Amino acid sequence: MSTSQYNSKYIITQPKEGLVIPKWAGSLSDTRSTRLFYLDSEVRENAFYCEVVWFWPTKEKDTSSPEPHAHDFGEVIGFFGTDPNNVSDLGAEIEFWIDNEKNLITETFLAFIPAGVVHCPLNILSITRPVFHFATMQGSSYEGQEKD
């Protein structure tokens, strides 16, 4: 029995070892964001893609979005505001293109992108408070599911 109070077979507390950051995503951690967790079938057998990122307040405009793309699986993408007095207020303005339509979003949101629906770019146009980001998809990795 391990001395920790949890089973590391199931509980993950560290970023993926040797995680290769996509060019559009910058670095593991910088003044704009900190990539907290990245889960896929390489991190835990049979796991599906899941990613968690903090975005930090900055005056820099983030236009480092992924290119427009679609997946063979549905994808869930969420951005969550951190004002304890109004959790619906995103504290940021996000431009998110879905199915060739631009959405300008200032509320905490969860998006479900069905399989085959083209999405992105996704740009944080402004951000005044920390924003928590979560994305997941049934595929075994993010990279393995992209298609043109």
Binding site for Zn ion (CB under 5 A): 75
Shortest Cβ 65–Zn ion spacing (Å): 11
Q: Which tokens go with 143?
A: 């990279």
Shortest Cβ 59–Zn ion spacing (Å): 27
Q: Could you tell me where the beta strands, DSSP code E, fall in 31-142?
A: 33-39, 50-55, 70-71, 75-80, 89-98, 101-107, 109-113, 119-127, 131-137
| Residue 14, SS3 per DSSP | coil
Shortest Cβ 111–Zn ion spacing (Å): 10
Q: Which is nearer to Zn ion, 69 or 129 (CB)?
A: 69
Of 58, 63, 16, 24, the C-alpha closest to 41 is 16
Shortest Cβ 120–Zn ion spacing (Å): 7
Q: Which is nearer to Zn ion, 91 or 136 (CB)?
A: 136
DSSP states of 103-133 as a string?
EEEEE-EEEEE-TT--EEEEEEEEESS-EEE
Q: Which is nearer to Zn ion, 62 or 75 (CB)?
A: 75
Instruction: Assess contact for 101 and 40: CB atoms under 8 A.
Output: no
Q: Which is nearer to Zn ion, 45 or 148 (CB)?
A: 148
Residue nearest to Zn ion (CB): 75
Q: Which is nearer to Zn ion, 33 or 145 (CB)?
A: 145
Instruction: Report how far residue 83's alpha carbon sits from residue 18's, in angstroms, rounded to the nearest whole number.
Output: 33
Shortest Cβ 66–Zn ion spacing (Å): 7
